[in-house]
Amino acid sequence: MSRGVDLDAIAISPAPELERLTGAISEAAGDSGFAPLESIDAVLLDMLLEWHIDGERCIAVTNPKGAWRIIYDTHFSHGALADALARALPDALVMQFNLQEQVDLTLRLLRGERTLYEYSNAAEFFKWGRCLGKAEPMQLARPETAALAAAISHPEAESALQDLFQTISAKIPGEAAGTRGRKKGGVYDAVQALGTHAGLPRLYRFFEGWMKSSLDWDEDDVATVLAFRRKE
């Protein structure tokens, strides 16, 4: 099943208890101006766009996948959520991925109040800071793969990460593969390989199960979906 060509995910390790994590998510959403809904059935949809209307928000949490839980947020910029979860779970490693148009990548690794690693290549399509809560100075485009390998506790992966960042830094989109814009051998595949070095499962743009698609619930092994609405 095709799941789109972009990638937006937050990964947390070691996998926290579900109740603790959902509590931290709800608190973070509240601090961002969102009130909880009873369930995803209360989410208001734009049937023409096949998406929720502006002001609605769904956040999915997977069951543990190895040492990780994955979070998918329908809110475009989830940098504030990643920051809040790192503060709420100070002993956990938080990895935030945002890939747009298969070439514009932002990657952050957080622990508590510290940013262990941060990479953002110069935006090709999106110019507004993407997932960072600040301006994106050009020095963020230096891969520093040794620091990344140390942050994911796999220093032996430095050489492999260097190879991946040659593709990422050059913004190589890859070759067409399929009919929905998917490309292979480019930045998208390099980011998935980067996640594999960290022990992550395959990542996606967002979890679509809030639209009541059982296929995505099963594929992503989702534990729960929290629904929110922007406060008046």
pLDDT digits 0-9 by tens, 99-158:
887 888 889 999 999 999 999 876 655 444 444 444 444 445 568 899 999 999 999 999
In one-letter notation, the amino acid at residue 193 is: A
**Residue 22 to residue 16: CA distance in whole angstroms:** 10
Instruction: Render pLDDT for 155-179 as a digit per residue (tens, 0 to 9).
Output: 999 999 999 999 998 888 888 876 6
3-class SS string, 93-142: EEEEEEEECCCEEEEEEEECCEEEEEEECCCCCCCCCCCCCCCCCHHHHC
For position 220, what pLDDT does the model report?
76
Q: For the chain, give every domain's residue range.
A: 7-137+201-230
Looking only at the bridges linking them, the beta strands covering 69-73 and 93-100 are unpaired
Q: Give the pLDDT confidence score for residue 52 in this predicted structure.
A: 81
Cα 65 to Cα 125: distance, rounded to the nearest angstrom? 32
pLDDT tens column, 134-151? 444 444 556 889 999 999
Please report which confidence band the pLDDT of residue 180 belongs to, taking 50, 70 and 90 as the band edges: low
| pTM confidence score | 0.87
Q: Where are the beta strands (DSSP E) in the chain?
A: 7-13, 34-36, 45-46, 51-52, 56-62, 69-73, 93-100, 104-111, 114-120, 175-176, 183-184, 222-230
Residue 206: is its pLDDT beyond 70? Answer: no
Q: What is the pLDDT of residue 91?
A: 95
Most confident of 59-63, 77-81, 182-186: 59-63
Q: What's the chain's average pLDDT?
A: 84
